[in-house]
């Protein structure tokens, strides 16, 4: 959940930030007798594509690692993950198929509500949204989908799968998810944090008719690329990725993410944020993304024409609000900016109630 180029300046000084990280399908997951049951209503947004096979999903993560997680919100979200097998362009996967893992809130009954698709930051997972999503569910203003961005999260990948993990591949995978799972027959709101904001910006610029609104949380909007990894010899880049997955680096990044470090930058937060690293293919998928050059959102920011809410932790140590926040008001014509006090880079984790209040007001 980080601006990769900024942090790599500190890592390759302190490469990476992770903060303790980190549709319903139109009728996908409903609660029956206290349990979740899967049922799919096909949105019909993609012609000549069979409905995606949606299933409950148990990530291939060591049970002992999951058992060490203490935060109940993280455990609950992890236990309720779903997966969908998507039809994707062959530029994303040579087989034309790719899996999406995600959390989806219980569907709101009645008329088709808007859908909010939550996009986590760099090398994170949908668990990044564990504190915010329950508050949005209580407000009942939209169906909520917290997606594992392609190449991160809990979908394992074999090295010979023929799958791409570039910024473009991540964007096109998101398009398939929105078309085939979320449905475009209702307003779609993209909510991206940090690098997830870069993905939201590039998607909204590429598919303006698909996105009704965007919510950008401490977004990487004016920093392009994936840092030095793209120009390093591959063996050095791989070494960097391995360091990226280490508990030591994650702990340092955890400290950088919060304003109230004593309360939030805990060992449990580090373990939650590192959980997806244990999935098969994590190293290769990360390496492919970083060597591909990363996102290039800065030229796309002015192309975001939809209503946009920008939320920024006033004490952000990763993306300085004094440098970047006001620029969104200047370059996005239909935007508003709201600072979150006593908060670092991750308002959705450090100040979830305040963050949810701003988002709910924006959605209504």
Point out the residues that are catalytic.
194, 316, 345
Residues in the chain: 364
| 138 HSE (CA, 13 A, CB side) | 10
Rounded Cα–Cα distance for residues 92 and 224 (Å): 21
The Cβ of residue 136 has, within 10 Å, a number of other Cβ atoms equal to 25
CB 20 within 8 Å of CB 257? yes
Match 């799919």 to its residue by tokens.
Answer: 40
Measure the CA–CA gap between 52 and 138, rounded to whole angstroms.
28
SS3 16: coil
Two structure tokens written together for 45: 């947004």
With beta carbons less than 8 A apart as the criterion, state whether 344 and 320 touch.
Answer: no
Nearest to 346 by CA among 303, 322, 312: 312
For CA atoms 318, 135, 110, 105, the dihedral sign is positive
Helix-, strand-, coil-residue percentages of the chain, each rounded to 5: 40, 15, 45
In angstroms, the CA 364 to CA 359 distance is 9
Q: What is the DSSP string of 139-183?
A: HTSSEEEEE--TTSTT----TTS-B--SHHHHHHHHHHHIIIII-
Beta bridge partners of 214: 190, 308
Q: DSSP code of 106?
A: P
Distance CA 182, CA 184 (A): 7
Residue 91 in tokens: 């530029």
Integer-rounded Cα Rg, in Å, for the chain is 18
């Amino acid at each position: 959940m980080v601006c990769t180029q900024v942090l790599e300046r500190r890592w390759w000084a302190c490469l990476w930030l992770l903060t303790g990280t980190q549709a319903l399908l139109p009728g996908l997951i409903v609660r029956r007798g206290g349990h979740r049951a899967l049922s799919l209503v096909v949105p019909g947004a993609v012609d000549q594509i069979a409905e995606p096979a949606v299933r409950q999903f148990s990530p291939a993560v060591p049970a002992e690692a999951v058992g060490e997680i203490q935060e109940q919100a993280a455990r609950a979200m992890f236990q309720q993950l779903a997966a969908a097998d998507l039809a994707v362009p062959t530029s994303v996967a040579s087989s034309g198929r790719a899996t999406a893992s995600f959390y989806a809130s219980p569907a709101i009954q009645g008329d088709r509500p808007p859908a909010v698709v939550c996009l986590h930051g760099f090398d994170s997972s949908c668990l990044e949204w564990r504190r915010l999503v329950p508050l949005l569910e209580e407000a009942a203003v939209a169906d909520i989908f917290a997606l594992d961005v392609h190449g991160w999260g809990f979908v394992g990948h074999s090295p010979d799968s023929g799958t791409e993990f570039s910024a473009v591949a991540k964007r096109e995978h998101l398009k398939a998810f929105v078309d085939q799972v979320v449905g475009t027959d209702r307003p779609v709101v993209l909510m991206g944090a940090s690098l997830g904001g870069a993905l939201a910006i590039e998607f909204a610029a590429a598919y303006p008719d698909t996105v009704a609104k965007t919510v950008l949380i401490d977004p990487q909007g004016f920093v392009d690329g994936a840092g030095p990894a793209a120009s390093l010899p591959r063996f050095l880049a791989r070494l960097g990725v391995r360091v990226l997955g280490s508990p030591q680096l994650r702990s340092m990044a955890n400290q950088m993410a919060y304003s109230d470090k004593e309360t939030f930058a805990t060992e449990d937060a580090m373990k939650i944020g590192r959980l997806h690293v244990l999935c098969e293919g994590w190293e290769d998928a990360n390496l492919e993304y970083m060597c591909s050059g990363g996102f290039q959102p800065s030229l796309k920011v002015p192309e975001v024409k939809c209503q946009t809410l920008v939320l920024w932790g006033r004490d952000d140590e990763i993306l300085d609000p004094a440098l970047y926040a006001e620029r969104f008001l200047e370059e996005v014509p239909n935007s508003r900016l709201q600072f979150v006090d006593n908060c670092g880079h991750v308002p959705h984790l450090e100040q979830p109630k305040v963050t949810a209040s701003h988002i709910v007001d924006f959605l209504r």
